[in-house]
Chains A and B, each alone.
Chain A
Amino acid sequence: DAKTTQPNSMESNEEEPVHLPCNHSTISGTDYIHWYRQLPSQGPEYVIHGLTSNVNNRMASLAIAEDRKSSTLILHRATLRDAAVYYCITPRRGSNYKLTFGKGTLLTVNP
Chain B
Amino acid sequence: KAGVTQTPRYLIKTRGQQVTLSCSPISGHRSVSWYQQTPGQGLQFLFEYFSETQRNKGNFPGRFSGRQFSNSRSEMNVSTLELGDSALYLCASSLDGTSGKTQYFGPGTRLLVL
* A residues adjacent to B (C-beta < 8 A): 32, 34, 36, 42-46, 49, 51, 87, 91-103
Across-interface contacts of B42 in A (CB, < 8 A): 101-103
B103 and A97 contacting across the interface, CB-CB below 8 Å: yes
Question: Across the interface, do B108 and A43 meet the contact criterion of CB distance under 8 Å?
Answer: yes
Interface SS of chain B: strand
Contact A96 B105 (CB under 8 A): no
Spell out B's residues near A (CB within 8 Å): 4, 31, 33, 35, 42-45, 48, 50, 55-56, 58, 90, 92, 94, 97-108
Query: A46-B104, A97-B97, A99-B35 are known contacts; what are 18 more A-B pairs with Cβ within 8 Å?
Result: A32-B100, A42-B107, A43-B4, A43-B92, A92-B99, A96-B48, A96-B56, A97-B33, A97-B48, A97-B92, A97-B94, A99-B45, A99-B92, A99-B103, A101-B35, A101-B42, A101-B43, A102-B42
A49 near B102 (CB under 8 angstroms)?
yes
Closest chain B CB from A64 CB (angstroms): 15
Some 12 contacts from A to B, beta carbons below 8 A apart, are: A32-B99, A43-B92, A43-B108, A45-B105, A93-B99, A94-B98, A96-B98, A97-B98, A98-B33, A98-B58, A99-B33, A99-B92
Closest A residue to B99 by CB, please name it.
Answer: A91
For the complex, would chain A's binding face be called helix, strand, loop or mixed by DSSP majority?
A: loop
A2 to chain B, nearest CB (A): 12
Q: Which residue of A lies closest to B58 (CB)?
A: A98
Chain A residue at minimum C-beta to C-beta distance from B57: A98
Write out the residue numbers on chain B whose beta carbons fall within 8 Å of the beta carbon of A97.
31, 33, 48, 56, 92, 94, 97-99, 101, 103
Cβ–Cβ contact B107 & A43, under 8 A: yes
Nearest-neighbour CB distance to chain A for B20, whole angstroms, equals 19
